[in-house]
Amino acid sequence: MLYEQHKAEIDGILARYPVDRKRSALLPLLYLAQDVYGRLNRDSIREVAEILDLPYTDVFEVVGFYTLFYNEDVGKIVLDVCDDVPCCFCGAEELVADLENRLGIKAGETTKDKVFTLRRVKCIAACDQAPVLQANLEFHNRVLPDKVEAMLTKLRNDVEAGKPVSISGRLAER
């Protein structure tokens, strides 16, 4: 169970907020549950709701509202390409097409081997680095065509080598 297995981390999160306001811990606990279970399905939502004494539907609503919570299966690595203005005029469209081609999926889909999910996302505050993406919320700047293959290979090798992954970005490095 989530609480028993991650007691120290959860207690640490709860300690940040007033004792009568533990609902504030909802977003951080959902991130944790998402990493542990790979996505936020009914059971994991129910577990988080129980830890915080919240109705299931309240938590369900929150999961649906925020784009970084996944209620469907995603790969081990979620690739988020910004296609906003100005990125879409600075190589983002070409990058999405290139990734779709190499991965054999469309944006919004997951590869058959469940390694990569590709998404188009809104501004990620790195406009000067366009075309830019996040892989499990780690920034990859100026992903020009000659860098794509090497990036994908490294990410795939990390997964195959058993390097810990966090789709919630809890382990994100620079």
Q: Write the interaction track for other proteins spanning residues 136-155; mark x where CB under 8 A is met and - where it is not.
A: -xxx----------------
Candidates 97-105, 109-117, 127-135, 153-161: pick the segment binding other proteins (CB under 8 A).
Answer: 127-135
14 sits near other proteins (criterion: CB under 8 A): no
Of 111 and 129, CB closest to other proteins: 129
**Per-residue b or e along 78-91, where b marks 16 or more CB atoms closer than 10 Å to that residue's CB:** bbbbbbeeebbebb
Of the candidate residues 105, 107, 127, 151, the single one contacting other proteins (CB under 8 A):
127
Separation of alpha carbons 171 and 159, rounded Å:
14
67 sits near other proteins (criterion: CB under 8 A): yes
Candidates 2-10, 64-72, 95-103, 107-115: pick the segment binding other proteins (CB under 8 A).
Answer: 64-72
